[in-house]
């Protein structure tokens, strides 16, 4: 029995955490704004009956520093399965891990969808999204990326929580492409421990403003303001931001990674790439916006 699924990677430009330890993880999450891209994670699951239940996880492409989110999803899923099985899990990760691309969310979502197909359990997509979201919150690897990647597109998260609980507002980005340059990773878990309480007021105001304006230029500017406020812009990032701004290009900062992004129209792509290619120690990624969200791969 086999399952195969894809989840887009997701970049958050700014956010407001909604963490209430009295509530269950599926009701925790974040407000914010960001976009999903056509690169992400493809997960393949192969299962066979066995004398005892066990699993093996293999990762190709960009390497993850741990498999805790995958293990959480597997164990959560197996609570609903009778019998004993050996599970072979393969994550093919197409974006750098720890650079603000929501990799753990894409891993969790694609795994939940692939497990559902392999076992033929018939769970609703919302239930699968909820399993992935609970894994992220419980492992402290993210808050809102599952909801965003589940839906795809350029989204404003107007209510936090798992798919089916949280809600989004989509903004059309048909004429835009995303171009990113990545320099170094930042630990989401460490950041969430140290700085969360200081940033919620600003993130909440930015969400409210963007809901009213639906302006992508404002999204870029708010993202840079947010990154400045939380003090994650390194000298290298500032140089890139200043270079883009000097050339009339709006940009933002991926949370959380040493990654600069810009959403640009087709006529500006070559201009942006020419600027970014000067910074040869960075990884440049080009992608269209993924408007479909997490899904099975036929």
How does pLDDT run across 258-283, given as a tens digit for each residue? 999 999 999 999 999 999 999 999 99
Where on the phi/psi map is residue 127: left (φ > 0), alpha (ψ -120 to 50), or beta? alpha
- Compute the distance between CA of residue 265 and CA of residue 52 in angstroms, rounded to an integer: 54
For residues 90-113, give the mean pLDDT: 97
Q: Tell me what pLDDT residue 20 has.
A: 78
Question: What are φ and ψ of residue 165, in 5° steps?
Answer: -115, -55
| 38 Cβ neighbours under 8 A, 6+ residues apart | 8, 287, 288, 289, 290
The dihedral sign for the CA sequence 110, 115, 117, 118: positive
pTM for the full model? 0.95
Q: Radius of gyration (Cα) for the chain, nearest Å?
A: 19
CA angle 166, 259, 10 (to 5 degrees): 25
What is the Cα–Cα distance from 80 to 130, expressed in whole angstroms? 14
Please say if the pLDDT value at position 191 is more than 70. no
Mean pLDDT score of the chain: 94
Q: How far apart are CA 268 and CA 276, in angstroms?
A: 13
**pLDDT, tens digit, for every residue of 117-167?**
999 999 999 999 999 999 999 998 889 999 999 999 999 999 999 999 999
Average confidence (pLDDT) over 9-37:
93
Q: Phi and psi dihedrals of 277, rounded to 5?
A: -65, -15
What pLDDT shows up at residue 198? 67
**Residue 211 — very low, low, confident or very high, per pLDDT cuts 50/70/90?**
very high
pLDDT in the model for residue 173: 87
In this prediction, residue 231 carries a pLDDT of 86
Q: Looking at residues 19-28, what average pLDDT do you find?
A: 88
Does residue 245 carry a pLDDT above 70?
Answer: yes
Mean pLDDT, rounded, for 91-110:
96
Q: Does the 1-298 domain belong in CATH 3.40.1640.10? A: no
Q: What is the mean pLDDT of residues 186-209?
A: 77
| Annotated domain spans of the chain | 1-298
| Res 22: pLDDT | 81
User: How much is the pLDDT for 194?
Assistant: 65
In this predicted structure, the answer to whether residue 239 has a pLDDT above a threshold of 90 is: yes
The reported pLDDT for the residue numbered 196 is 66
């Amino acid at each position: 029995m086999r399952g195969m699924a894809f989840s887009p990677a997701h970049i958050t430009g700014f956010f407001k955490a909604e963490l209430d330890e009295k509530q269950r993880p599926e009701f925790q999450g974040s407000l914010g704004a960001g976009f999903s891209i056509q690169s992400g994670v493809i997960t393949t699951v192969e299962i066979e009956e066995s004398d005892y239940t066990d699993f093996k996880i293999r990762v190709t492409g960009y390497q993850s520093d741990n498999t805790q989110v995958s293990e959480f999803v597997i164990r959560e899923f197996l609570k609903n399965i009778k019998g004993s099985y050996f599970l072979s899990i393969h994550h093919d990760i197409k974006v750098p891990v720890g650079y603000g691309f929501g990799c753990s969310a894409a891993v969790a979502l694609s795994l939940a969808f692939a497990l559902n197909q392999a076992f033929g359990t018939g769970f609703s997509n919302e239930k699968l999204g909820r399993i992935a979201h609970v894994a992220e919150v419980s492992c402290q690897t993210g808050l809102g990326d599952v909801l965003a990647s589940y839906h795809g597109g350029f989204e404003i998260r107007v209510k936090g929580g798992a798919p089916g609980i949280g809600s989004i507002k989509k903004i059309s980005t048909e004429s835009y492409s995303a171009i990113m340059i990545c320099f170094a990773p930042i630990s989401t878990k460490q950041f969430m421990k140290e700085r969360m309480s200081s940033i919620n007021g600003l993130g909440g105001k930015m969400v409210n403003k963007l809901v009213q304006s639906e302006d992508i230029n404002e999204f870029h500017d708010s993202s840079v303001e947010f990154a400045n406020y939380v003090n994650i812009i390194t000298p290298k990032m500032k140089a890139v931001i200043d270079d883009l701004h000097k050339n009339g290009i709006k940009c933002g900062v991926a949370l959380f990674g040493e990654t600069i992004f810009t959403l640009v129209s087709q006529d500006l792509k070559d201009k942006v790439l020419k600027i970014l290619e000067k910074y040869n120690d960075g990884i440049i990624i080009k992608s269209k916006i993924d408007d479909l969200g997490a899904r099975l791969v036929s």
